[in-house]
Every structure is written in C-alpha cells, then in structure tokens.
Structure 1
Amino acid sequence: MLFISDAYAQDAAGAMPGGALGSLLPFVLMFVLLYFMMIRPQMKRQKEMKAMLAALKKGDEVATIGGVVGKITKTDDNFITLEVSRSNGNVVEMVFQRGAVQSILPTGSIK
C-alpha cells in the first residue's frame, strides 16, 4: 500500500476547457468543410444532369452510360428512342430510359 497514491477526480471546469461549445466546435467545422467540399458540388451536378435530361429533344446526338451512341428519333416522358445504325435502308433503333443518357454530343459527331 505504500506505492499507490490516492486518486482524485478532476473537476468539471478542468475537464472541458471552453465549455460545451469548445468540444462541439471541431465537429461543426468538419461538417461545414464536408458540406462545401462534397455535398454542395454533388447537388450542383445533379441539378445540371436533371436540366440536361429535361432538354433532350428529337435530333440530338447522345451517348448513353453503356457507351451506345445514337441520334434521338422519339422522346417520351420516361423513354427515348435512339437510331444507332443505318445500313442498306435498314434502321436499327433502341429504346432507353432518359436517365441512361450520359451526355449530349455536338451535332455531327456521329458519322
């Protein structure tokens, strides 16, 4: 018993310098940083994608997420029809959901 000294509890003022606000400040700063670095740019990209999908019209040349490139021949609220090939008078058309369109290509991209 000679080697063990008495242990005393620390008071509340010594445990949290700056109070409750001081302990929450790092979490608030991390959330603000996360918002401006990740959440806000993602929301901006989603808004741009939604506007692009709403602006699709007949005659636009597009690339899908799967890599299919074609010209829009028909549009609907949920679906688009792409002309993907034309040979010997035969036309190959495929139907895709609007959400499958990745980008609109400049006119004349498809030869």
Structure 2
Amino acid sequence: MNYALAAGSFLNSPIGIILIYVVIIGGFWFILMRPQKKEQKRLAAMIADMEVGDTVLTTSGFYGVVIDLTDDDVIVEFGSNKNCRIPMQKAAIAQVEKANQD
C-alpha cells in the first residue's frame, strides 16, 4: 500500500483540512491564551486577598498603602503626606505586598 498517497488524499479531504486547522488553533491556544488566563486568575486572587495595611503598586506606577476597602473600590494613601488619599478601582492594582505580621 502506498502510504504517501493515502496521507495526501487525507490532507486534501475536507475533514483532513478541518482537523489540521483544529490542531493549529489548539496549539495557539496553549501557547498564547492559557498563560494569559493563568495570570488573570493569579491577579484576581491577589486582589481578593488584599487587606487594609498592605502596600500596593498601581498600574500607573505609584506605591501606596491600603487604608480602606469596599467591594469594587479601594482607598490608597500615597507618600509620607497622610493627606494624600485617593480612591481607585481594585482593577487599578497591579501588585500587592502583604504587611509584615511581626
């Protein structure tokens, strides 16, 4: 039996072409989309564990300390000036460092 002829006829059939596209799209999903979903889950868990007193880094690059939390918002205190308190969405938090539990 001529296997090259059998493989060539399979690749020329509509089912073979669809199967190749499915394999290519599946490969791209594992390479591109899956790591992004993992990072989104990690960030959501980090924000859910955020507490008052934690140091945060905002998406704009500012470091501050969390002084109040609500369901969707957080109030962050910036710098040594205790009057600089800015409310922002939790989605604007890029990184959380837990307060020392000494």
TM-score, with length taken from structure 2: 0.78
- Does residue 100 of the first structure (1) align with residue 65 of the second (2)? no
Opposite residue 79 of structure 2, the aligned amino acid is S
Root mean square deviation of aligned Cα: 1.8
Task: Check conservation: 1:85, 1:93, Cα contact below 8 A.
Answer: no
Q: Within 1, Cα distance between the matches of 2:31 and 2:70?
A: 36
- Does residue 64 of the first structure (1) align with residue 58 of the second (2)? yes
Find the counterpart in structure 1 of residue 38 from structure 2: 44
- Bigger Rg over Cα: 1
Specify every segment of 5 or more residues in structure 1 that has no aligned partner in the other structure, as ranges: 1-15
1:31 to partner: Cα distance: 0.9
- Describe the SS at the equivalent of 1:17: helix
Task: Check conservation: 2:47, 2:96, Cα contact below 8 A.
Answer: no
1:62-97 alpha-carbon deviations (Å, 9 max, x no partner): 00001111000111111111111234xx53211111
1:106 to partner: Cα distance: 5.8
- How is 1:1-111 mapped onto 2 (pairs within 5 angstroms)? 17-18=9-10, 19-87=13-81, 90-105=82-97, 107=99
Q: Within 2, Cα distance between the matches of 1:23 and 1:92?
A: 61
TM-score, with length taken from structure 1: 0.72
Q: After the TM superposition, which of the residue ranges 51-60 and 22-31 deviates more from structure 2?
A: 22-31
Higher relative CO (CA 8 A, sep ≥ 6), structure 1 or 2?
2
Opposite residue 27 of structure 1, the aligned amino acid is Y
1:39 to partner: Cα distance: 1.3
Amino-acid identity (%):
25
Task: Check conservation: 1:64, 1:100, Cα contact below 8 A.
Answer: yes
| Structure in which a larger fraction of residues adopt helix | 2
